[in-house]
Amino acid sequence: MSAADLADFRADVRAWCRAHIPSDWRAAQTGATDAEFVAFQQAWFQELRGAGYAVPHWPAEWGGGMSVAQQTVLYRELAAHDAPRLVLAFVAIHHAAATLLAAGTDAQRERHLPAILDGEIWVQGFSEPDAGSDLAALRTTARRQGDAYVVNGQKVWASGAAHADQCLLLARTDPAAPKRRGISYLLMDMRSPGVEVRPIRQATGESHFCEIFLDDVVIPAGNLVGPEHDGWRVAQETLGTERGMTMLELAERLGNGGFRWLVEACARPGRDGTAPLDDSRVRDRLAELETEVTGLRALCADLVANDAPGPADASIVKLYYSELLQRMTDFGAQIAGPAAHTVLRKPLSSGWESGAWVLDFVGSWEWTIPGGTSEIQRSIIGERGLGLPREPKAV
């Protein structure tokens, strides 16, 4: 796409943003009920879908087909115009779609990709109480019985499970095999008998993480993704491909939403009449953060554009994003002062840098812990990216 075409595209997105982003969504989503949140998310998804902006990263045949340059423009403009985020559809349009596109059968793709566009909500059922960083130690079992698997076990940290229609499930199909070789990847209908969801209240006071209890849940064998017992590899590959796509949006959010609010907060005069921006140390820190977020955006764009990324590139981006988010929101909390502690709720449907700085800061651990903690990412970067020797195995 030529620079002129890209400029036209930018103008289209801007015009669309001005016409379609509800000006009152932050107020309406602050303190909203679960039902209001879900209804708003579903409506916003269809609004974006109507413009062709909901799944720009999908292949053209399924309703996407935007170049990386276009996606970057799209996400930048959505962030700059403070659009709500697709919080509820996140796992569906990224993790589920990446899995189905890379490893699913034609029947699975045809069943689910159009359904996702119509609002099917997905959740990831990977972690377990005793399988967090050591995910491959998972113990949920899937026993083959005729044309189905019978699943028993418990999943935890399943974000959005309370609203989900479908679940990406990792379960052990061969208990005798070495731990990474006996796992299968399954698609589970959350309305199946034997599925019970219990929300967990998290550090921010919200409860979008859940436990999922599985008691003799029957999953048709046709819902197996990839070869039986090979689910670990499927999960590793799809997690990698998905990482870049999600980060592109999040990096633009941090650069054009988070950083902008930070500058605005710094320019606001306090009770003594001076603004934080009058302080040279504040200006220095802001400039440092702007530089870092610019570096992050370049890293993300490169990761997405690269057909053959390095084995640790996704980990580098995840680690850098999550720790930068933490630094930025921490700084926001310091700038906003005690008053930020009176912001008791952040708007639902907002990003990780909503401007409710203390809640954003507390919430930033949702990035440094899940999806492989920062410590796990550093080990991956050291071992796969730099070729350093592995940890000795436990005896």
Binding site for another protein (CB under 8 A): 76, 80, 255-256, 259-260, 263-264, 266-267, 277, 280, 283-284, 286-288, 290-299, 302, 312, 316, 319-320, 375, 377-379, 381-383, 385-392
User: Is 290 designated active site?
Assistant: no
> Which residue has tokens 């998804």?
45
Spatial separation of the C-alpha atoms in residues 342 and 358, rounded to whole Å: 9
Residue number, 32 or 251, with CB nearest to another protein: 251
CB nearer another protein, residue 292 or residue 366: 292
- Comparing CB distances to another protein, the nearer of 49 and 260 is 260
Please report how close the Cβ of residue 316 comes to another protein at its closest, in angstroms.
5
- Indicate the SS3 state at residue 365: helix
Q: Which of 242, 249, 292, 366 is catalytic?
A: 242
CA distance 327 to 331: 6
- Least Å distance, CB 295 to another protein, is 4
Least Å from the CB of residue 80 to another protein: 4
Q: Are 225 and 187 in contact (CB under 8 A)?
A: yes
- CA–CA gap between residue 174 and residue 170 (Å, rounded): 12
**For another protein, the closer CB: 9 or 259:** 259
- Decide the pairing of beta strands 224-225 and 183-189: antiparallel
Pick 275 or 362: Cβ nearer another protein: 275
Report, in Å, the least distance between residue 197 CB and another protein: 36
Say if residues 26 and 71 touch (Cβ distance below 8 Å): no
Unique residue bearing structure tokens 């276009």: 70
Q: Which of 296, 212, 225, 284 is nearest to 254 (CA)?
A: 296
Work out how close the CB of 83 gets to another protein at its nearest, in angstroms, rounded to a whole number.
Answer: 13
Tell me the H-state helices in the chain: 3-20, 25-29, 34-51, 68-80, 90-91, 97-103, 106-117, 231-253, 259-267, 280-305, 313-336, 357-363, 365-368, 374-380
* Separation CA 343–CA 340 (nearest Å): 5
Catalytic amino acids? 242
